[in-house]
Structure formats: C-alpha cells, structure tokens
Structure 1
Amino acid sequence: MPAIAPIGVRVDKYLDVPEAAKGPPIDPAKGYRTQKLGDGLFMVTDGSYQSMFMVYEQGVVVVDAPPSYAAHLPAAIAEITDRPITHVVYSHFHKDHIGGVRGLLRDHPIIVAQAETNRLLARAKDPDRPLATVTFDRSHRLAVGSQVLELSYREAAHAPGNIFIYAPKQKTLMIVDVVFPGWMPWRRLALAQNIPAYFAQVREIAGWDFETLVGGHVARAGTHADVEVQLAFMEDLKNAAAAALKKTTPGEGLDASDRANPWAVFDNYIDRVVIECVNQLAPKWSGKLAAFDVYIWDQCYAMEQSLRID
C-alpha cells in the first residue's frame, strides 16, 4: 500500500499546502477578498469559491453568486461603484456556484445562461436558482457600454451547460470546476460527467490567449503555468492508470472461495489497479499539488474507469 492513507482511513495530519497554492489572506471581518483583474473587472473570493463582476457605464454584470459569500457581493461591489446590478451570468447550473443569486435581484437584472443550464434549472425548480431570462446555444456576446464578455459552450465535460466566459479587453478567462490553480482537482476530476471531454477542455484552455484564469475555486486566480501543471498531472494520471490496468491481473491473490463471486473479483482488481496508480504518481506529485493526498485515490479510480469504458 502507498504511504498515503486510502479513502475512509482517518489521518492525523494531511500533507501541508505548498506555498505556491496559497492566495492572499482573507480579512475575517469581511469574509471575502476583491482583486482587480483589469479595466472594470474584479474577482471576489472567500478563499474557497470565486466569482467575478464587471463594471460598465450604466451598471454591473455579476458572474456567479456562490452561496458561501453571496451575501457579501453587494458590499464588494459597493467598494467599487454605486451602479446597479443589471446582468447576472451563470457559469453552469450547480447550486454551489449560483445558489446565492436571489440576494442580487433587487434591481431585476437580466440573467444569462446556456440553454442546457436553463433546462436543468427548470427541472430542479429551485427558488435559489431562478431561470435565466436570456439563453444561448453555442455563443453569446454580452456587450454592455464599453465592456464585453464573450460566452461560449463546447460539449459537457464537468457538467452540461458549463461555459467559457472571456473578457477580451482584460484578457481574463473564467471557466468553473475545470482548472484548480496549484491544487489537485476536486475528487474524481471535479466530478466530471465526461472525462475525455474534460481532458480536451483543459488542453483547449492551455491554448487560449489569457493572462488571468478564474477557476471558480481555491484561494487565488490562475495563470497559463497553472494550466500546464494541471495538464501535466492529468497526462501522468492517465498514463499511470493505463499502465496499472495492463499490469494488474484480475483475481490474483484472491481467496479461491471468492472467485465465483464476480463482484468480489472485480472489486479486488479495481482496488489493486488504484494502488498501483497511486504508487506511480505519489513520488512526483505529492509535494507539487495541494491536497494531493486528499483526492489521489479518487482520481486514479475515475481515470481507470474512464479508460475501461469511455
């Protein structure tokens, strides 16, 4: 077994977070930090979640409202301008990113989302996630005053309807739950619904012309170097899982009386593949990505399953 504790085993101490993964401190009295990304564009974060807002001549466009700090978004905006919120953009339908939007509706903003996001919100019937008033299929150019956000959609990777949000003047790209600057992706490749598409999106992001990446999570914004690091980890993960699948023999070492139980045979096989995968990755990556030890078992499991069935 690797030295890294497997899922379900309580540990006394997780691996320390590398300095490169940490962001500027959050003032506990405020509960958030605001960072200027360019002309009229700002990121807001509580150190775990991230959203954006863009100020233009007549108002403000908000992108996402995580419930963990959505109540502070009006104060964050008020530090910059007294203009009203005229638009809200949904990155995707997940509640942990847009479930705080009800507190921003005083001025009846236009809500913009990809069509699949709206379909899923209609199914959810969640009052905390009101339906969008403007939807699009593949692309939408949100031009307000002198400011522009270019919204575009590929295939579902992390989730259906999850869009690329690009501010060309500020050279800032926001794509949520795909790249985690300095950190291991959330478990099972951020719960990606389509792992091959998830890989394709990270490769595409690496080719975009941006200076700042807003990933929706962790304590700081990202750079091209962060994308390259995550892509390198993902390629190593794929190679390690593929090698482990090839090297591991189903049923090896299993009690003879259990071999008539195909679920037991397969469970034993999957576990040994994951162990081999973790052992291959730990020497190189355990000190490079924050929370490597927290989610590496999940990543190896998700990758081996994708290689077998996708």
Structure 2
Amino acid sequence: MFTVRVLPLVLVSMLAACGRQESVPPAVQSVSASQTPATEASEPGTPAVVPYANMPKIAPIGVRIDKHLDVPESARGPAIDPAKGYRLQDLGDGLYMVTEGAYQSMFLVYDKGVVVVDAPPTYAAKLPAAIAEVTKNPITHVVYSHSHKDHIGGMPTLGGKPIIIAQEETLRLLKRDNDPDRPLPTVTFKDAYTLNVGGKKLELSYHGNGHEPGNIFISAPKQKVLMVVDVVFPGWMPWRRFAVAQDVFGSIAQVDKIGSMEWDTFVGGHVTRTGTHADVAVQAEFYRDLKAAAGKALSTTKPGEGVNPQDLNNPWAVFDDYIDRVVVQCVDTLTPKWQSRLGGYDVYIWDQCYSMEQALRID
C-alpha cells in the first residue's frame, strides 16, 4: 500500500498517471474529469477527485514511488570497495579526493603533515585509514568548506589538535550552534587566504552568500583542482531546493563563476565522481531552463481559476492552488528534456520548481 503524506492542495491523486492505481485505497484514487460527474466532490481537506490539468507523471512530493528513474551512466562514478567503505582518487602532487559515494572531501599531503578539507560524519572515521594508504604524516590542518554538520561534523574522529581554517562567517555560525562535533576555527579570513605548507598551496576565497554565508572556494592551483561544496552536482540533479541554498540566485551566480575559472578537476562535496567544465555547463543550462519554465508558468497561470467558490474567502488556499498549478506546468515543461540527463531528476524536480517560482516572486 502507498504511504501518502497529504500536503495542502498539491497532493492531488495522480497515481493513475503514474500507473500505480491498484495499490492505492479507493479514497485517494484519481479519475479523469470525463469519468467524474460534475457534481461529485471530495471531502474537505482531502485530495481532489479530479487532479490538476496535465498532471505530470513524475510523482509529487509526499507520494511514495515504487521505482525511481534509472541513474544515467553519465552520472555514475567508479565503484566503492565495500570492504573499505570509501574510494581514494589521486588528484596529483599529493592531493587526494575521498568519497563513500554520496559525500566527498580532500586531503593534501606535504613533507611534515596532512591538510584535510572537510570531514563528513558518514566516513570521517575512515579518513585516517585513507590517509595512511599514502602517508604516515599526521593531520596538521583542517579546512572547513562551510559550517554545515553533514560536511564537517566528523571532525572529532580525526584526533589530534589541528589548526582549523574557515571563513569568518563560518566562525560566526559555529559559535551560534555551539556544537562539540564542530570545533571552532582557529584561523579565519574575510575574502581570501593562502595556505602554504611544505611547498604545497591551497588558495581559499569567499564569493558571498549562495549556499550559505561562509561557503568558500578551495583551489589547488598546481593540481588544477577546484572544490566548492553544495553548489555543483556533477551529472546529478542538485539536492532539494538548490541544495537548501540561502540565496537561490547567489548560488546560480556561483555556478557561472565556477564555470569561468581555470581548473581541470572539480570536487563538489557530493555524488559519486569528480566533475568537469562540461558538468558545470550542464547544470548552468538546467538552471536557465528552470528559471525560464517557472517564469513562464508564473506569467501564464491565473490565480483562483478552478478553485472551489467556497474557498475564495481563504487567501491561503487560493494562492497555494495558484502556486501548485505553476509548479505542475514547470515540471511538465522540463521533464522531456531533463529526465534522462540528470541522476535523481524525479527525486527533486518538484522541489526545484517550487524554489524557483518562490525566488522569482520574492527575491
């Protein structure tokens, strides 16, 4: 049986369109307008008997899905050794990327130590073993890409007392959070900071709020590697709501900034593989299409059209119905082109359309 979380107005039954009606209780099954008498109505507060027009086959938020779209080969990365639980990728001249298939971090080996960039709690306990594959040097420095716990919350498992480097906004947020799993930075900077250790270099720079305040660019110029976390997702649909970006258009601008910089290998902090300039161009193209689709839907959808007259005195209901129909059109517009190009397209396309229409209306 399907588990359905009913959200206001958007969760009309679309199970018939998804070909899964046989698993759904009769009370939430969809039927077409031609099958339903005009006088038939749903119970108040329940999904409508007749769905929105042109409801996409991509299931909306809150509807359990039997099988998601297959991940395209272009999104896949090398396999993870299950015995180790991580994959180590040599990026050149002492720089390595580590991933367990969903999160990514880096470390840089120099003559007297190791610099770690991020410690995701999903595999931070295994980072010492990954480092030990290439050096016996101790961890002397840790760079925080930003303040979010899913990227740096494994810091205590690294041991020792390394120097912790972060942008000053990250320090502010971590002081507020007071989380023992995220020790406070000991070195901070405002716009730029160059870490020189044993002839190896990392250039750290801040380009404003996008994903969140303090999220930095980490460049290894000799290795031609750029790491920016939670902004570009090579081969994949970005995490929901532009990876919960605080500033949607700021995050989009940073995608363009990343594409304009000189590097050969991109590390995004997530997904199964590193990225290329072509990957960044694809995400920029998707964002342009998303903005255009949401913008057109906003301008061509009429508020209140089709709303039950008894609900016209409920401004929340009228406006939510308008936004839901905008998002239905947005998803419909994007799906033919993008559903086979991005891994996890069907998982987060509804989130992206909702976020974009909101950004266009109020930002």
TM-score norm. by structure 1 comes to 0.99
* Equivalent residue, structure 1, for 2:49: none
Residues 251-295 of structure 1: CA deviation (Å, up to 9, x unaligned)? 000011111110000010000000000000000000000110000
* Equivalent residue, structure 1, for 2:80: 26
Write the distance in 1 (CA, Å) between the matches of 2:193 and 2:227.
15
What aligned pairs does 1:259-270 form with structure 2 within 5 A after superposition?
259-270=312-323
Residues 164-203 of structure 1: CA deviation (Å, up to 9, x unaligned)? 0000000000000000000000001110100111111000
What aligned pairs does 1:68-107 form with structure 2 within 5 A after superposition?
68-106=122-160
State the SS of the aligned residue for 1:52.
strand
Letter of the 1:91 counterpart:
S
Letter of the 1:165 counterpart:
I
1:244 aligns with 2:297: yes
Cα RMSD, aligned residues only: 0.5
Write the distance in 1 (CA, Å) between the matches of 2:277 and 2:156.
34
1:3 aligns with 2:57: yes
* Equivalent residue, structure 2, for 1:303: 356
Write the distance in 2 (CA, Å) between the matches of 1:270 and 1:210.
40
Letter of the 1:32 counterpart:
Y
Q: What's the CA shift for 1:38? A: 1.2
Q: What's the CA shift for 1:241? A: 0.2
Write the distance in 2 (CA, Å) between the matches of 1:289 and 1:169.
31
Instruction: Kindly tell me the number of residue pairs found equivalent between the two proteins.
Output: 309
Write the distance in 2 (CA, Å) between the matches of 1:282 and 1:136.
42
Structure 2: which 5+ runs fail to align? 1-54
Letter of the 2:347 counterpart:
V
Residues 114-163 of structure 1: CA deviation (Å, up to 9, x unaligned)? 00101111111111000010000110000111100000001111011000
Q: What's the CA shift for 1:105? A: 3.0
Residues 24-76 of structure 1: CA deviation (Å, up to 9, x unaligned)? 00011100000001110000000000000000111100000000000000000
State the SS of the aligned residue for 2:193.
strand
Percent identity for Structure 1 against Structure 2: 68
Q: Which ranges of 4 or more aligned residues in structure 1 deviate by more than 2 Å?
A: none
What aligned pairs does 1:277-296 form with structure 2 within 5 A after superposition?
277-296=330-349
1:149 aligns with 2:202: yes
Write the distance in 2 (CA, Å) between the matches of 1:134 and 1:166.
18
Q: Which of 122, 127, 134 does residue 180 from structure 2 map onto?
A: 127
Where relative contact order (Cα < 8 A, 6+ residues apart) is larger, the structure is 1
* Equivalent residue, structure 2, for 1:62: 116
Write the distance in 2 (CA, Å) between the matches of 1:120 and 1:6.
33
Letter of the 1:3 counterpart:
K
1:159 aligns with 2:227: no
Q: Which of 206, 217, 227 does residue 270 from structure 2 map onto?
A: 217
Write the distance in 2 (CA, Å) between the matches of 1:243 and 1:5.
22
Structure 1: which 5+ runs fail to align? none
Write the distance in 1 (CA, Å) between the matches of 2:68 and 2:249.
30
Letter of the 2:276 counterpart:
T
